[in-house]
């Protein structure tokens, strides 16, 4: 997968976007990822953060394992924050936040062929990310979340609606506290996809959970 995919294909790929690091699961992440894929996730982001997270070679080794699982199932593999690792591995994409290196610098580093996702909270940030060359926007936290310590204020699905009204056409994924029950309203607000950590990573069956999201997001 690369940026050469058109917007519609990217929107499809973003529809059920599973995000996880090893600290979000209590069993091997490659197993959880494999189950989530079997349930129907459409994209994966490796986000290795928090106390006890892997670093250096252990992080790279885990990333390679997860990338291979994704390749085996034709699922795109995105890396959070770590531009150097994304480039070194030739990942499908990189996702950055407002506190990371700026989007335009990141775009210059990765070139045109890698997908660039940017987390935004406001319409201004969204417009800036578009101008800087983002391929998709992650908007949130939509609802209250326990998965991000330094999360901004909850903005609700209305923020996505407001972005659409202000003319932002880039693919948008909602993030933060997304559950199966809340997914229909996210879709109605104009999001192309839902990005989920805990509702899949901590689910008794990641496969079943992923499948429920897929059913709601299809068509």
Interacting residue ranges for ligand TZP, rule: CB under 6 A:
119, 140-141, 145, 147-148, 151, 175-178, 196-199
Is 94 within 8 Å of 117 (Cβ atoms)?
yes
CB-based burial label for 123 (10 Å; 0-12, 13-18, 19+) = middle
Bridge partners, 26 (sequence order): none
C-alpha span between 5 and 98 (Å, rounded)? 25
Does 82 bind Mg ion (CB under 5 A)? Our answer is no
Region from 91-99, 104-112, 159-167, 173-181 binding Mg ion, contact rule CB under 5 A: 91-99
| Active site (annotated) includes residue 159 | no
Give the x/- contact pattern for Mg ion in 5-44, rule: CB under 5 A. Answer: ----------------------------------------
Q: Name the catalytic one among 11, 47, 159, 187.
A: 47
Would the annotation count 198 as a binding residue?
yes
**In terms of DSSP bridges, do strands 76-80 and 115-120 run parallel, antiparallel, or are they unpaired?**
unpaired
Cα separation of the two ends of the chain = 21
| Cα–Cα distance for residue pair 54/31, rounded to 1 Å | 17
Token match 């928090």: residue?
A: 50
Q: In whole angstroms, how close is the CB of 99 to Mg ion at the nearest point?
A: 6
- Interacting partner of 147 out of Mg ion, ligand TZP, none (Cβ under 5 to 8 A depending on kind): ligand TZP
Task: Pick between residue 110 and residue 199 the one whose CB is nearest to ligand TZP.
Answer: 199
Alpha-carbon distance of 157 to 129, in angstroms, equals 19
Binding residues for Mg(2+): 81, 100
Binding residues: 45-49, 80-81, 100, 119, 145-148, 177, 197-198
Can you give the binding site for Mg ion, defined by CB under 5 A? 81, 97, 100
């Amino acid at each position: 997968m690369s940026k050469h995919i058109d917007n519609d294909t990217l929107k499809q790929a973003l529809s059920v976007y599973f995000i996880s690091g090893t600290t979000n699961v209590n069993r091997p992440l490659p197993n959880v990822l494999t189950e989530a894929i079997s349930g129907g996730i459409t994209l994966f982001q490796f986000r290795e953060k928090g106390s006890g997270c892997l670093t250096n070679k252990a992080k790279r080794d885990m990333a390679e394992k997860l990338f291979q699982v994704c390749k085996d199932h034709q699922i795109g593999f995105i890396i959070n924050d770590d531009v150097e690792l994304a480039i070194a591995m030739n990942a499908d994409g990189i996702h950055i936040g407002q506190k990371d290196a700026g989007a335009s610098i990141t775009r210059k580093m990765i070139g045109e062929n890698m997908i660039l996702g940017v987390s935004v909270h406001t319409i201004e940030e969204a417009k800036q990310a578009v101008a800087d060359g983002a391929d998709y926007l992650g908007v949130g936290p939509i609802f209250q979340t326990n998965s991000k310590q330094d999360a901004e204020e909850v903005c609700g699905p209305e923020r996505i609606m407001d972005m659409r009204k202000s003319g932002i056409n880039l693919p948008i994924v909602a993030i933060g506290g997304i559950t199966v029950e809340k997914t229909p309203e996210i879709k109605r607000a104009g999001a192309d996809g839902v990005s989920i950590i805990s509702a899949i990573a901590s689910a008794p069956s990641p496969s079943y959970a992923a499948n429920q999201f897929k059913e709601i997001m299809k068509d």
